[in-house]
Structure 1
């Protein structure tokens, strides 16, 4: 069994979805410290040919809280505002008619928890793309919060009987292959290949590609078959 563990990111970029697709079980690491100005509640879209950072507003978010303890802001208007931004930005995109209902379902999901919103969004994205990976929220099952860093990752691998653990390429300095090997676990790092696709031009006739935006951008411009191919555009090292 192959396992990956990542903090929950809202409407993440293709590399995050590649990692989900590469494993049998994907653990949403939602009982670790919330990181201000991270990707838990933010991502980027293409608006008027330029990247646009959107943020899901939170209530009293703090790095002293765990992600699963952080709540959405009380004002519900952020949902309609974000949907309006996406509509205005992508209504002329080739896959808008099929992707917008999915986007509306995700953003309008009734919850006050950012962790639960991300979990729901990933369940829906997986279903849309035909990804069968099991999703688990770490706060609901492992009961090992006293462990830190690599030791906690290894403990989750043991509890899941994982034979392989895959981590984003940025973790090469955090995790040690010999230590994982001693536990009977193969450690690999996933490295996305360059991915480009047609986007809108910038209004001046140029079509400069803006990479690594939210999965919503990629879905708006590519059909499911094309996206499934993109999900395999990586190498394990």
Structure 2
């Protein structure tokens, strides 16, 4: 089990909200507030100051992207807040908007994925630790949509595979295990990706987020 977290949950479906509360608490976490309206998210975050906010994208009052907007606002008013957004849809702009400030501590997971407790636990742990997580299905579909003229085309197939796993939030060791290569090979590929995307030297986690943003914006 990952470390216990204090969580604020925002989900308008009663059944899913209660199911998530039960699932998270059985996993050892504490759901300090569960709200059913995007407008209630920021006040709940300010009151309880959780480690992570788990937020549905499409919520009242308009059922468009209210949850996403509230999550972005919550991060702006409570520095260090991790945000894991849940969606039924693969939408590029959702992932890009979450990553826009370059700070990490964000995740975008498809709702189908939360049936896998291990995947949910892993995403929560990474987000709470300041990493970024994008659902593997989102990564796969976004790669399929890439235009032939974008700068990502300069990457080799292996470098694209490494970048896709970076987008999912994998550590260097996790990438090495997934691709069955050495940690040194992964480091070499990442250095090449950052160089080809013209990302200057900076704190490593920040550069990784910027690399994913470059891919999303290409």
TM-score, L = length of structure 2: 0.27
Bigger CA radius of gyration: 1
Q: Which has the higher helix share?
A: 2
By percentage of residues, which structure has more strand? 1
Name the TM-score, length of structure 1 as normaliser.
0.25
